Amino acid sequence: MGPVALALLPLSIVYATVTACRRALYRTGLLRAIRLPVPVIVVGNITAGGTGKTPLVLWLAANLVRAGFRPGIVTRGYGAANAGPALVSPAGEPGVDGDEPVLLARRGDCPVWRGTDRVAAARALLAANPDRDVIISDDGLQHYRLARDVEIALIDGAAGFGNGLPIPSGPMREPVRRLARTDLLVVKGPQRAGLALPGPAAAMSLAPGRFRNLRDPALATDAAALRDRPVHAVAGIGRPQQFFDTLAALGLRFQEHPFPDHHTYAASDFAFAGVDTVVMTEKDAVKSTGFATTNFWALPVDAVLPEGFLDRVLERLRHGP
């Protein structure tokens, strides 16, 4: 344990105690979870930071549609101007609705509502869209007030559980044993040696698409067209190195520019010396279109899951909690 983690340990003990008490109150029924008139799929994790929740939520929405369902998405709306609930438009402003909700609305092809109270957001979504027959709750594992029919927990295979300590000394929102009570486990990326899980897990990878121009989203290009250019790579996500590793695997030569997760960009953030081409994640792109030039490109990624994973989700939906 490092000196910073040690200094923060008292706060971690308080955090872990509060979350454990809250979890116990819902488990024993002293606090009541609210059940919606349609099934709920919760996607979340037990660690802080990016584990690929947004791509998985988009994968679920698209595949549920193909299976004949009419999904809607609810999400917290980190960085939103107010607590909500509120409809998120594909043309929404990240400063108003949050970056991830806007990205979900642009890519999800289904209604997206955001709000710190997921129950209120889901009820508002269903009132506005009475044809919806399943709700996907993004990053909702710890939002116990919303009763769920399927829990899907994501684990970053490379990062694992860090030092295993609760926030803020470590990355843990909940202890590892919490995973034993989830319905489905998904591991993103290669699983590091010694990562112990309480059960079988589906392997998820992220497949990069074609780079999309921020000024003209209809304009796309392959990585090969960018390999001979000076590239500045920008990532303000939970684990920026994963984006940089993806670019390296595509053969790009670039200078790394990591920013804090959910960073609010300004044009001055891109005043790079000798700038020719800027590439970024989709989440960064939704906050940069207002000042982007024709040399700004975003790299979309799509979740890839094994054959049969959707069947496991549908089986849980049919049999209920």
Lowest model confidence (mean pLDDT) among 90-94, 120-124, 125-129, 181-185 = 90-94
Nearest by Cα to 279 from 253, 293, 297, 252: 297
Q: What length is written for the chain?
A: 321
CA 211 to CA 222: how far, in whole Å? 6
SS3 (DSSP) at 121? helix
Contacts of 248 (CB under 8 A, 6+ apart): none
Averaged pLDDT of the chain: 93
pLDDT at 90: 94
Confidence of residue 320 (pLDDT cuts 50, 70, 90): low
Q: Cβ(87)–Cβ(103) under 8 Å?
A: no
As to burial, measured by CB atoms within 10 angstroms (0-12 exposed, 13-18 middle, 19+ buried), residue 90 is middle
pLDDT-derived band at 183 (thresholds 50, 70, 90) equals very high
What is the architecture, at CATH level 2, of domain 3-69+133-205+304-319? 3-Layer(aba) Sandwich (3.40)
Question: pLDDT tens for residues 221-260?
Answer: 999 999 988 899 999 998 899 999 999 999 999 999 999 9
Condensed to tens digits (0 to 9), the pLDDT of residues 157-169 reads: 988 999 999 999 9
Domain boundaries defined on the chain: 3-69+133-205+304-319, 210-299
